[in-house]
Structure 1
Amino acid sequence: MKKIALVIIFIFSINSNAQNEDVKHTVETFFEGFQHRDTLLLHQVCADKMILQSITENEKGNQFSEESTKEFYQTIAAIPKDLIFREQLLSFTIQVDGSMAHAWTPYEFFVDGKLSHKGVNAFTLFKEKDRWKIVYIIDTRRK
């Protein structure tokens, strides 16, 4: 009986790890598209009606902003080619429940090699057929 229980736990663990890796890969693909200003790659991992929100924290107080999916793609495409930027993800915390997942990714954002700001990204994903799609992103930004 103990062996059966251990086998079931092992199988569940393997499936859970695979789901987490798939979610992580989707978020990493998002940042690959972002880094290369590749809106086609971003479209592959983002839902058509994705929600994008930000919370900027500074000495003037907290500001909440929202961007449409269309504006997001236009902003990415308009980033000058000579601008050097990098968003470094510091860790991943992933939770999965069936066809919904959440990824929490603290980050540091660098422009021309200098720290611009830092915060955390929170992604909500939906499993559409056999692939994860980002449906919601909210991030914090502070100097």
Structure 2
Amino acid sequence: MKKVFILVLVFFCQFSFAQESEVQQTIGIFFQAFHQRDSTALKKVCSENLVLHSISESEKGAKFSVEKASNFYKSIASIPLSIKFEEKILGFKVQVDGTMAHVWTPYEFYVNDKLSHSGVNSFQLYKENDVWKVVYILDTRRK
């Protein structure tokens, strides 16, 4: 009985790790496309109904904003090549429940090698036809 329990536990841990790895890989592809200004590749890992929200924090307080996915894709594709930008991901916290996942990624955002702002991204994903898609992004932005 003890051996069966251990085998089930090992199988469950491997399955759980595989799902978390798939989700993390999807977020990795998202950021690779983001840094390459490739809106077509971004759309491949995002739901056609992607929702984007941001919370900008300053001394004046917090400001909540909504961005249309179409505007997000256009803005990424239109960043001039003369501008260097990088969103450094400082960690990943992945939670998976069946076909739903949540990813928490603290970050620092650099423009031309200077820190612009920092915060955290909260990604919500769902799995459809064995493919993880980003359906919702909420981020904070602090100077």
- The question of a shared fold, defined as TM-score above 0.5 by the shorter chain, is answered with yes
Deviation at 1:43, TM superposition (A): 1.0
**CA distance in structure 1 between the partners assigned to 2:42 and 2:128 by the alignment:** 16
| Map 1:36-115 → 2, pairs under 5 A | 36-115=36-115
State the match for 1:137 in structure 2: 137
TM-score (norm 1): 0.99
AA in 2 matched with 1:50:
L
Unaligned regions of 5+ residues in structure 2, if any?
Answer: none
AA in 1 matched with 2:99:
S
Identity of aligned residues (%): 51
AA in 1 matched with 2:4:
I
State the match for 1:118 in structure 2: 118
Unaligned regions of 5+ residues in structure 1, if any?
Answer: none
Moved beyond 3 Å, runs of 4+ = none
Deviation at 1:48, TM superposition (A): 0.3
Deviation at 1:53, TM superposition (A): 0.3
TM-score (norm 2): 0.99
**CA distance in structure 1 between the partners assigned to 2:114 and 2:72 by the alignment:** 24
**CA distance in structure 2 between the partners assigned to 1:115 and 1:21 by the alignment:** 29
Q: How many residues align?
A: 143
**CA distance in structure 2 between the partners assigned to 1:33 and 1:60 by the alignment:** 33
AA in 1 matched with 2:98:
G
